[in-house]
Structure 1
Amino acid sequence: MCVRLAVFVAVAAGVCPAVVVQGEEPQVLDKHFRLQQVAAAPDLVTPIGLTFDGRGRLLVIESHTHFPPKDYQGPKSDRIRLLEDKNGDGQIDRFHTFHEGLTAAMSLRAGPDNWIYVATRSRIFRLRDTDGDDTADEEFVLARLETPGQYPHNGLGGLALDGQGNLYFGLGENLGADYSLIGADGTTYRGGGEGGNVYRIGLDGTGLTRIATGFWNPFGMCVDPAGRLFAVGNDPDSQPPCRLVQVAMAGDYGFQFRYGRSGRHPLQAWNGELPGTLPMVAGTGEAPSAVIPYAGALWTGSWGDHRVERFRLAPRGASWTSTLETVVQGDENFRPVDFAEGPDGSLYFTDWVDRSYPVHGKGRLWRLSKTEAKPGAEPADAWPGKTKAELQAAKMMSEPDMAALASDDPFLRQAVVAGLVRQPKLLQQIEGLALPDPRQRIGYLQAVRWQAEEQQTPPAKFTSLLQKALQDPSAEVRLMAVRWIADHSLVAMRGEVEGLLKAGPMTPALFQAVLGALEWLDEAKSGLPRNGEYTHYLEKFLADEKRAPALRVMALRLLPAEHAAVSVPELKKLLDNGSPELRRAAVRLLALSDDPQRMAVLAEQAVDASADEALRADAVFGLGRTADTASELLQQLAREDSAAGREAAIAVRLARREPLQAETKPAPEETDRWLELLADPGDAEAGWRVFFDSRRGGCVNCHRYQGQGSDVGPDLTEVGKRLTPQRLLESILQPSREVAPLFVPWVLATDDGKVRAGLSQGVTADGKSERFIGVDGKPFVLLLESIEVRKPSPLSIMPQGLEKALTLEDLRNLKALFAPAP
C-alpha cells in the first residue's frame, strides 16, 4: 500500500488523498474539517432529502418506494422523519414520523411560517404541524405534474427558496414523455422531449414560470447568499461530466432528450457549444444530487464517485467558474445525496450507502464540522458579492441594450435576452435580423422563441421569420434557426432546411445540424421511430455527384471508418474520378487508414510527379506514418526538393529515431517571445500532417480536426475562432494553465496496485464499470469496486513539453492550420 500511495502522489503531482480501503470510514482530505456519523440503519434507512425546521430539528425523507424489491419488508410509502439529539451527545436519539403516505419523495426545504416544502415526482406541496404534536396536519399543493412518465427520480425535485417569496424547482427529462405542469392558480406548462427545466413559483402556488431549459435532470438547486441560482444535474449517457451550472433567466443549457440519450447529437450541446446555449460553471463527479453554499464555496455530493466535493468560485464575466476539490472521499458504500447546514454551523448530509437503486434498508447521516484551528488557518467564509459584470447584467434585464448582445460574455448576452423577454413591446419593435452582429441576431431569435413558447404561440406563426433566418449570411444564425425548426418538428419547413445544402459556404457544425434536422423531420413526418442516426444521409450525399464538392468532402469525413464508402477500393475510385477537393480528402483518409491495402494506392500517388504537390506530401505522410524503418521509397523521395521530399525526410528521421536539430527556444511561460518566434506565416497543409502525426505533437491522440481524430480533448476544427493567437499558443505550451470542465482528467488508484489517468466517459449500462480514455487516447474500463482512490488531476491530460517534440516550423504550421479562415 505504501508503494502504491507513493506512485499516486507522483501521478497526482502533489495532490494526494489518503487511500481509502473498502469498508473503511470515509476520509476527510481537508484538515479544517472533521466527519462524524450521527445516525444509521435501522433507525434511518435509504435517506434522500433533508432540511432543518425553524426549531433546528432535522427532517429527512426516508425512501421506501424507489424500486422496492418484491420481498421488501419496509413501509409501503415514503415518509418524512423528524430527528433530534435530545441529550446533546452528538448522536441522533429521537426518530419520529412527521409525515407519511408519499410516493417517490425527493426533496425537502424549510420555509417561513413553519412550512416544510416537499417535492415528490408528481407534486410540489407544503406541510406543517399546527397543533405541536410533531406530526404534519396541514397540506397545500403548489403544483402538480400530469404525465405517463413514472421513473422515480426524473420528475419534480431540487427545491430552493430565494427568501423573496419564491420557490425554485426542477423537472427532469422525464424520458421524453409528454407532460402538463399545473400551478395552484391554474397556470399550465405543457411539453415533452425537450429535456429538463427549472421553474419558479410563488409560495402560495401562483405565478408558475419557466426559468431555464436544456438540463438532463436538475435534481439539486440552491440560491446563494448573493441571490444567484445554481443547479447540479446528471449527464447523458455519452457526454460526461455532470454539470454545476449557474441558472440564468430564459437560459438554454443545450440538452434535448428528443435527440437521444447520448448527448452527442449535433442538435445537442453540453457546454455552450451551440449558438444560444450557455456553458457550465464546472464539471462535477458522477450523479450529483444537491448543491449548497457553505464555508465560502459551493458543495456537492457525488453519489457515483463516493465523495463530497467543493467548488470555490472565480469570476468569469457575468458568471463564475471553478475547479473541483474533493473534501471527503469514501469507498463504494459511501453515497452522499442531500445537504443542509445545521444551527451549529456544521454540514449535515444523507448517505444512501449502497450502489443499488432499489431500496435496501441501509442508510447513514453524517455531520461535517469545522475543526478547532489556529487564527487565520480556517478557510475564508466570506461569500463573493455581485461583480461589476453581474451588476451590468442585472441592469440589462431591466434596461436591455442591444449593443450588449454583441458581447463576448454569454451571460451578459443572456441578460439582454431575458430583458427582451420581459418587455414584449420592445421586442416587437426591433428589426432583429437587421442587427449588424451575428450574436445580436442570435440573441433576438432566442428572445422571440422563448417568448413564443411562454405564450404557447403555434410555432408555424414564425415561418417567415425562420425563412429569413435560414438565409442569414452567418452560419451560426442559420444553425439557430435549424434548431428551432427541428425542436418544434416544423415538417413543412423541411425543404428550406435542405435548401441550406445547396446554398453558400457551410461550417461542419451547420452541416451536421442540417443532416440531423432532416433525419428528425423525416421521421416525424413518417411516424417511424426516431434514433438520431443520419449515416444514411451522409452516404447518399457523398454519392450525389450534383452536390458541391466541399459538402461531399464534409460527408466523407463524417462517415465512420468501418463504412463501405470509406474502404480503400471506394477511396481509390474517388482518386481516379473525383474533383480535386474529393481527391485530396480521399488521400488524407487513406493516409490515416490502417488498412494494408492503402500502401499501394498511396505509393502510386506519392511518385506521381504530375499530381498536386500537397496531395503528394499527404500520400508520403501516409506511407511513413506507421513505418518502423525507412523504406527505400521514402529514402528516394527524401532527396527531392519539394513538399513531398521534405515530408519523406521527416518520415526517415522519425523511423530512424534521430533527434531534432537543436533550436533555441524560450521557456513555455515566455509567451511574448514565442509569439515573436512564430510570427512568420506557416503552411497549413504541413500543419495538418503535424496534427495527425502521433510521433510528433500527437495532437490526433486527443483531438479531432475536420471529423478525424479522438474525442479525448476538444474538437480543434474551429479553435482559431474561439481563441486568440496568444491563448491558443498558451494552451499548447502550458496545457495545465486552464483546463476546461469537460476535460479534467482523473488519477485513479485501483486495488491491483496500479495508478492510471484518464477522462471519464461514464458508467456502463450495467452500472458496474466505468469507461475512460487514457492519456494515449486509448479506451479502458475499470470495475467501480476496484477503484480505491480517484482524484481530479491538477495537470491537463495533454502532455507537458510538447514544444520539445516539435520544431519551430512545426509550430508555425500548426498555428497556420488553426488560424480562422479569412
Structure 2
Amino acid sequence: MIQAFQTLCITISTILVSQTLLAAETIESPSTQIWTFQNPEHGWTAYSDCKLSVKDNLLHVDSTGKDPHFGRELKSAAGWKQVKLKLRADFPLKGEVYWKTEKNNSYADSRSERFDLKKKKPDWQELSFVFYADSEMTGLRIDPASQTGLIEIESISLGNTEAPRSATATPADQIKLLKDFKVELLYSVPTEVQGSWVSMTIDPKGRLITSDQYGDLYRITPAKIGSKTNDTQVEKLKVDMGMAHGLLYAFDSLYAVVNGGKERLSGLYRLKDTTGDDQFDEVKFLREIKGGGEHGPHAIILSPDKKSLYIAAGNHTNLPDPEKSLVPRNWSEDLLLHRLWDARGHAAGKLAPGGWICRTDPEGKEFEIVSTGFRNEYDIAFNPEGELFTYDADMEWDVGSPWYRPTRVNHVTSGSEFGWRSGTGKWPDYYPDSLPAVVNIGQGSPTGIIFGTGAKFPAKYQEALFISDWSYGIIYAVHLKPQGASYVATYEKFASATPLPVTDLVVSPVDGAFYFTIGGRRTQSGLYRITYTGDESTAPAEPNPDALAGLRELRRDLEELHAQKNETIVYSVWPYLGHEDRHIRFAARIALEHQPVEQWQNCVLLEKDPTTLITGGIALARNGSPAFKTPLVNVLKKLNWNKLTDTQKMDLLRLYQLVFVRLGGPTERERLDLLAQINKAYPAANSFMNRELSRVLVYLNAPKVIERTLELQDRALTQEEQIHYAKVLMNLTTGWNDSLRKKYFEWFLKSTAHKGGMSFNKFLVNIRAEAINNLSEAEKEMLKPVLEVNLEKAEPVAEGPPRPFVKKWTVGELLNAENSDHTQRNFEQGRKMFAAATCFKCHRFAGEGGTIGPDLTGAGGRFNAQNLLESIIEPSKVISDQYASTMFVLDDGRVVNGRVINLSGKNLMVLTDMANPSKLTSIDQDTIEEMLPSKSSMMPTGLIDTLTKEEALDLLAFLRSGGDPEHSLFQKKD
C-alpha cells in the first residue's frame, strides 16, 4: 500500500509539473522532449527583439529587431544531442541555435550551430542540429532571423543522438599502410570535451601525454599490444596547463612550449611532480616566446647528449632574446629588386630571420640560435648520428609562381640559413648564402616528425625519418642517404587516409610501437598505434661506423668553430672556402663570419682561387663596411666568366646582389665594368641562370635588357619563368618604347590562362599595378584598352594557336617505336613537348614547373619506357597512392571527385581540378554518405595526341633523362 501510494503521488506530481511548466510539451521518451504549441503556456520566453504568441497551434515569433532571440530553461543529460525545428517564413532565415550546460552556464558562439536559408521558402522547413553537451544541459536559445518579420514554428524537439560521422576518428580499416604493418585506433577523442590534440610525448612509465590545441593536457595509458583497444585509459591532468604545440618529458620534468596567444602567455614552461602523487603540481615559466597562431612556437626535443633542449618556432615568432647564436647575427632581407608582399596579406611585414631553431639548458636560462630562415617548421628530430632535421612548410597560396617553394626536408646544420623571406622574397634553393633541401616533398602542411629509432620495425624503417602531412593526411617514410657533407633522400607513403590530419608522432621505448595523433584546428582527434607484423628482423639496427666519416666529419669539425673566436680560426677554415662540397663551404664561411672582419677582409681581396674568392666575398659583403665595396668589385670583375663553372657563375651573380644590397650601388665605372663581364652571357642556355642574370642586368640597366627579357618571356615554357620576367621588369623605368610597353602589358592578358594558388591572380594584378605606376599619363592613355582589362575576371586568353590533333596514341604503338628507335633524340624538343602536353602545369621536372602532381625528375630512373607511356596515355590504369583521389557520395545525391587538401572543423576542402589549385569544393563531413577510392586519375587523357611520333619519342627521352642534356639518349649513335 505504501509503495502504491508513493507511486501515485509521484505520478500526480509529474502531471502537475507537466501541466504548469510544460503545458505544450510531449515527452516521447526519457531522452526526448518535444514542444508543440496548442496553448499559450509553452514555457518559451522572448529574450530580445521579438514577441511570442500562439495561434492555430503554431508558435508565432514576431521579429522586431536585428537580433531576435528566445529560449527556455530545461534539463537534459550530457552527451550528443539533436535539436529539430519545423518552421516557415516568407523571407530568408539566417540564425543560430545556442545551448548552455552546468559546466558552461551561459550562451556563447562556441556552443552554437548556425543555419542560413538564403532563399524564400514559404513552405515548411525542417532543420536539424547535432552537438555535444559537455555536461547536463540547462537551457536552449534560438535566434531565428536577422531581419524583421513573422516566423511560424510548428514544433521544437531536443533528444539524444549518436555521434555524427565527423565526431569519430577515421577508422583504422580505412588507413592504407605499407605491407606487413598494422594500425589500431586506440582512442577516438570526444572533441567537445577533450579538444583537438596537436602534440605528444612519452613519460618514463610509457604513458603518453598530449595537449589540446586550445585547451588542457591529457595522459593516456595505451592498451597493451594484443589486448582490446578499449582498454586504453585517458585522464585529464590536474594542472593549469595546455595549448602546447610542443611537449617533452626530460630531466624529471614535463616541458611545454605553449602557443597560447591571448589566453595563455606563449613560451617555455617546466612542470614537476614535487609531492610524488603522480600529478604535476609545480609550474615554472622559464622563458617568454612571443608568437602565436599556427606559425608560433612549436616543438621541443632533447639533444642527443641529453644535456640540452632544442625548440622550433615558425615565422610569426620573435626570437626569445637569445644570449648566444651559431648563426651570425647579421641577417637581412638581401633582395636586390623590389619585393611584393603576399597579395592576400599573409605575413606582410614579417622580416628575417623567419622561423628559427634554438637550444637551451634544462632551466631555460641561456638560449642559443642554431638555425634560421624557415617558414613554419613544426617539428624537429635527430638521427642516431646526432644530425638534426626538420620538415618545413610551403606557402600553398604561392603555387604556380616562381617564388613558390614546396614543402621540404632540411638538414639543419650549425649556423644554417634556409632563405625564407615574405611574399615574393623567398630565396631560390641555389643561393649560396643559404642551404638546399635534402628532398622536396611538394604541397602539404608539415606537422610532427620523428626518426624510427627504437621502433620494433625492420632496420630500413628504424633508420627512416617519418614526417607528417596534416592537410593531405599522409605519413611519409623518408630514406636518407649520406652524400658529401650532407644527405640526399627518397620517400614513400607509409600511412594515409581521407581524412587523416596527423599532428604528432612518437616511438615508445617501452613497447617499441609507433604512435600518432590526428586533430588540430578543432578537427576530430584520435590516437593510433602502428606495429610491424611481418617476418623481417626487428632487432635494433646497428649504428653505421662510417656514418660521420669523411666530409660529414669535416663539416662537424668546422662547425665546432662556430661558437669560438680565435685568430687561428681564419687560417684553419680558409682552405675550405673553396671546397667542392657546398656544405663544407657554408660551414667554413659561417666560422669565418664569427671572427672579427678586420682579421680577414684583406685576405678576400688577395684571393686568386675563384670559388674561395666568391665564398669569401659573400662573407665580406655580409660583414664588411661600404669602404670595401669598390675594392671587392674590382677583384670580382677580373674573373673570366667563360672559364667559370655554372655553380661559380650562379654564386658570383648572387655575390654581386649582396654587394649592391649590403655595401652600396655601383658607380658608373663599376656598372660598365660589370656589364663588360656578364652582359654577353644573357640569355644563357640555363633558365635559372637567366633568372639571376635578368635580376642583375635589370638592376644595372643593361643595354637592350628589356628586349632580351621579353624575348625570353616569349620563349619560356613554364608560367613560373614567364612571371619571373614580368616581375623583374616591373620597376624598370628606362629603355622602354611604345612597342615594348605594349608587348609587356599584353603578356598580362595571356597570363589569364595561367592558374595557381589563392594569391596567384592577385599577385599578377599587383605586378601589373606596380608597372603601371611607372607610366606617364600619355603612356597610360595609349595602353588604355590593355590596362582596363580586369585580370581577375577576364576570360582566359590562349597563349597561341592550339596544336592540331595527330592521332590517338596507344602504349603499344609508341613502345614499339621506342624499341626500334636508334636515332639521336633532341633534348630541347623533348622539353618543349613536356610543355606542349601541359605537363609543366602540374609537374615539377629538374626544378621547373608545378607541384600539384608528383615531381617527375627521377621518374626515368624508377620506371621503364612502358611504365612511363602507360602513366601518360592510360593514367587511370595504375594510380599512385600518393596522388589518388577520393569519390565522395553526398546525401543530396551529388558526387565529388578530388583530393582533400585542407580541413577546418567538420569541413573538407577538396581539390577537384589539378589545373586550377585555387578552386576548392567544401564538403561537410556530416553530409557524406560514402567515400570510395576513385578509379579515375585526376590527370586528363589525350595529352600527347597532338604530338607526332618523333615529338612523342623526344618527350619520352626527356623524361628518361631526368633533365640531363648530356644523357646518352641525346648523344650521336654509333
TM-score band w.r.t. shorter chain:
0.5 to 0.7
Structure 1 residue 345 displacement after superposition: 0.6
Q: List per-residue Cα deviations over 1:91-112 (Å, max 9, x = no partner).
A: 5655444464446421011213
**Is 1:153 paired with 2:294?**
yes
Equivalent residue number for residue 392 of structure 1: 554
Cα distance in 2 for partners of 1:770, 1:757 equals 6
Of 870, 885, 888, 1:749 maps to 885
- 8 Å Cα contact 2:912/2:921 also seen in 1: no
Which residue does 1:508 correspond to in 2? 690
8 Å contact kept, 2:831–2:955: no
Q: 1:281 offset after TM fit, Å? A: 3.0
Deviations 1:430-475 (A, max 9, x none): 723554555434433555577x5xxxxxxxx632445555663445
Q: Secondary structure at the match of 1:312?
A: strand
Whole-angstrom distance in 2 between the partners of 1:819 and 1:370? 44
Give the letter for the 1:173 counterpart: N
Q: 1:404-428: CA deviations, max 9, x gaps?
A: 4444533233332344345558972
* Cα distance, 1:180–1:751 mapped onto 2, change above 3 Å: closer
Q: Distance in 2 between matches of 1:626 and 1:92?
A: 64
For the pair shown, which has the larger CA radius of gyration, 1 or 2?
A: 2
What is the deviation of 1:168?
1.5
Name the counterpart of 1:252: 417
Q: Structure 1 residues 240 and 99, CA, compared in 2 at 3 Å: closer, same or farther?
A: farther
Instruction: Check whether the contact 1:157–1:220 (CA below 8 A) recurs between aligned residues.
Output: yes
What SS class does the counterpart of residue 487 from structure 2 fall into? strand
Q: Is residue 2:448 matched to residue 1:290?
A: yes
Residue 463 of structure 1 aligns with an amino acid whose one-letter code is P
- TM-fit CA distance, 1:304: 0.7
1:639 corresponding residue in structure 2 = none
SS at match of 2:220: strand
Cα distance between partner residues in 2 of 1:382 and 1:183: 37
Number of equivalences = 625
Is the CA contact 1:79–1:97 (under 8 Å) kept in the aligned structure 2?
Answer: yes
Distance across 2 between alignment mates of 1:402 and 1:307: 44
1:220 CA displacement: 0.5
1:53-72 map, 5 Å: 53-64=203-214
Contact preservation (8 Å) 2:295, 2:315: yes
Structure number with higher strand proportion? 2
- Render the CA deviation track for 1:102-154: whole Å, top value 9, x for unaligned: 46421011213x022221233123222121122323444443224xx5x4221
Once residues 464 and 689 of structure 1 are traced to their aligned partners in structure 2, the CA distance between those partners, rounded to angstroms, is 49
Residue 217 of structure 1 deviates from its aligned partner by 0.8
1:476 maps to which residue?
651
* Residue in 2 that maps onto 1:339: 505
* Partner SS state of residue 289, structure 2: strand
Partner in structure 2 of residue 538 of structure 1: 729
Give the drift of 1:271.
3.8
Which residue matches 1:201?
A: 360
Distance of 1:246 and 1:350 partners within structure 2: 25
- Determine whether 1:213 maps to 2:372: yes
Written as runs of structure 1 = structure 2, the 5 A alignment for 1:351-370 is 351-352=518-519, 357=521, 359=522, 362-370=524-532
CA distance in 1, matches of 2:912, 2:611: 36
Question: Secondary structure in 2 aligned to 1:444?
Answer: helix
Structure 2: distance between partners of 1:253 and 1:85: 39
Q: Distance in 2 between matches of 1:327 and 1:731?
A: 19
Unaligned runs of 5+ in 1: 1-20, 65-77, 453-460, 520-531, 567-593, 599-621, 630-653, 704-709, 719-725
Distance 2:197 2:861 in 1: 47
Letter paired with 1:244: V
CA contact under 8 A between 1:97 and 1:135: conserved in structure 2?
Answer: no
Is 1:132 matched with 2:276? yes
Tell me by how many angstroms 1:244 deviates. Answer: 1.7
Closer, same or farther: CA 126–534 of 1 in aligned 2, 3 Å = farther
Task: Report the CA distance between 1:717 and its aligned residue.
Answer: 9.1
Match in the other structure for 1:611? none
Tell me if structure 2 keeps the 8 A contact 1:284–1:324.
no
2:438 matched residue in structure 1: 280
Q: Deviations over 1:274-329 (max 9, x none)?
A: 66432233416621211111122111222111232211222332222333322222
Match of 2:750 among 549, 557, 561: 561
Asked if the contact 2:829/2:951 (under 8 Å) is kept, the reply is: no
Aligned-partner SS, 1:369:
strand
Q: Which residue of 2 aligns with 1:586?
A: none
Corresponding residue number in structure 1 for 2:387: 228
Say if 2:241 is the partner of 1:118. Answer: no
TM-score (normalised: structure 1): 0.61
Counterparts in 2 of 1:387 and 1:536: CA distance versus 1, 3 Å: closer
Q: Distance in 2 between matches of 1:63 and 1:809?
A: 52
Contact 1:538/1:559, CA 8 A, preserved across alignment:
no
| Residue matched to 2:950 | 805
Superposed CA offset, 1:313-358 (max 9, x none): 22332222333322222222x2221112221111122221x7xx2x
Which is further off, 807-816 or 462-471? 807-816
Q: Measure how far apart 1:556 and its partner are.
A: 9.1
In structure 2, how many angstroms separate the alpha carbons of the residues matched to 1:297 and 1:389?
22
Q: Deviations 1:343-388 (Å, cap 9, x if unpaired)? A: 1111122221x7xx2x46x4222222222x33x3669845653353
Percent of aligned pairs sharing the same letter? 17
Paired residue secondary structure (1:390): helix
Note the C-alpha offset of 1:241. Answer: 3.1
Three-state SS of the structure 1 residue aligned to 2:729 is: helix
Which residue pairs with 1:72 in the alignment? Answer: none
Counting only pairs closer than 5 Å after superposition, residues 224-623 of structure 1 correspond to structure 2 as: 224-236=383-395, 237-238=397-398, 239=404, 241-257=406-422, 260=423, 265=424, 267-269=425-427, 271-272=429-430, 276-283=434-441, 286-294=444-452, 295-332=462-499, 334-342=500-508, 343-352=510-519, 357=521, 359=522, 362-371=524-533, 373-374=534-535, 376=536, 381-382=541-542, 385-398=547-560, 401-421=573-593, 428=600, 431-432=603-604, 434-436=606-608, 438-445=610-617, 447=619, 462-466=625-629, 472-473=636-637, 474=649, 476-482=651-657, 493=665, 504-505=678-679, 507-511=689-693, 513-514=695-696, 538=729, 541=732, 544=735, 561=750
Higher relative contact order (CA 8 A, sep 6+): 1
- One of 247, 257, 265 as aligned partner of 1:108: 247
Change (3 A) 1:662 1:772: closer
2:896 and 2:670 map into 1 onto residues whose CA distance is 50
Written as runs of structure 1 = structure 2, the 5 A alignment for 1:80-99 is 80-84=217-221, 91=230, 94-98=233-237
Question: 3-state DSSP class of the match of 1:269?
Answer: coil
Asked if 1 retains the 8 angstrom alpha-carbon contact of 2:477 and 2:492, the reply is: yes
**Structure 2 letter corresponding to 1:33:** F
* CA RMSD across the alignment: 5.9
Change (3 A) 1:32 1:485: farther
Distance 1:134 1:405, change over 3 A: same
Q: Report the TM-score when normalising by structure 2.
A: 0.52
Distance 1:126 1:716 in 2: 44
Structure 2: runs of 5 or more not aligned:
1-167, 260-265, 332-349, 399-403, 453-461, 562-571, 638-648, 683-688, 702-722, 752-763, 769-795, 850-856, 872-879, 890-894, 968-974
**CA 780–538 in structure 1, closer or farther in 2 if over 3 Å, else same:** closer
Q: Is 2:211–2:218's contact at 8 Å kept on the other side of the alignment?
A: yes
| Alpha-carbon displacement from aligned partner over 1:705-744 (angstroms, at most 9, x marks no partner) | xxxxx574347899xxxxxxx999989997999x9xxxx9
C-alpha distance in structure 1 between counterparts of 2:518 and 2:808, whole Å: 58
Structure 1 pair 511–419 and aligned structure 2 pair: CA distance change class (3 A): same
